[in-house]
Structure 1
Amino acid sequence: MTSDVHEKTTGKETTETRWYISSLDLNAEQALSSVRNHWQVESMHWVLEMTFREDESRIRKGRGPLAFNVMRKIAMTLFKQEQTKRASIAAKKKMAGLDDEYRSTLLESGIKMR
């Protein structure tokens, strides 16, 4: 499978060959969807690891790992949806830890989602 890549920082167009292995019999549209879904999941896990240090968690027993995983994903969603500050998720996490008003804004935005 080949893909055209447009680099936003340089505006440069390149063609890369990317290899994917699957035992599924997919047409081109299904293969593209599968690859995009895979990288969407990988991207989410990367954010969870880099921002929340998920791999370093020492929570290993009972329902704790699942509960904390769900809480991290909720927090990540709140940080992504919050638009009053233009900052990375890591920066927003730090601001939320230091600023009661900003933390309230985050939590209230979660209530408004419904």
Structure 2
Amino acid sequence: MESVRRNEKEESTSIRYYLNSFASNAVRLAQAVRSHWGIENNLHWVLDVAFGEDDCPVSRDHAPENLARLRKIALNLLSQEKTTKIGVANKRLKAAWDNNYLAKVLGD
């Protein structure tokens, strides 16, 4: 698959190779690839912005994987809380400052 990335100053082209286990045509394969990268990019962007995942200095043993799992659990809980119309990062701060809101996020 050939992908083109454009920004204000430059354009770059890259070729990626994929293996799949389903019968496909170009349209179906392109949809699968776009869908995968859309989910990946959105999830990792939120984890980095709301939780500072890329800046985490923890790197020993199983700690990075354990923290990543805890961040995803926290992200799911914060995303499910719909009474406050603010972003995930602000919900996280609000839960840290307000025990009543934290209880609401945790489902009490």
Q: TM above 0.5, one fold? A: yes
Cα distance in 2 between the residues matched to 1:80 and 1:106? 9
Q: Who is 1:47 aligned against?
A: 46
The runs of 5 or more residues in structure 2 that have no matched partner are: 3-12
Q: Which structure 2 residues correspond to residues 52-63 of structure 1 after superposition, within 5 A? A: 52-63=51-62
Is 2:104 the partner of 1:105?
A: yes
Is 2:76 the partner of 1:77?
A: yes
Is 2:21 the partner of 1:22?
A: no
Identity of aligned residues (%): 27
Q: Give how far 1:37 is off.
A: 1.2
Q: Who is 1:96 aligned against?
A: 95
Aligned residue identity for 2:74: A
Q: Who is 1:14 aligned against?
A: none
Q: How has the CA–CA distance of structure 1 residues 30 and 20 changed in structure 2, closer, same or farther, with 3 Å as cutoff?
A: farther
Higher relative contact order (CA 8 A, sep 6+): 2
Cα distance in 1 between the residues matched to 2:61 and 2:74? 22
The count of aligned residue pairs is 94
The runs of 5 or more residues in structure 1 that have no matched partner are: 2-18, 110-114
Aligned residue identity for 2:17: S
Cα distance in 1 between the residues matched to 2:14 and 2:72? 28
Q: Give how far 1:35 is off.
A: 1.2
**RMSD of the alignment, in Å?**
2.3
* TM-score computed with the length of structure 2 as normaliser: 0.76
Aligned residue identity for 1:76: L
Q: Who is 1:35 aligned against?
A: 34
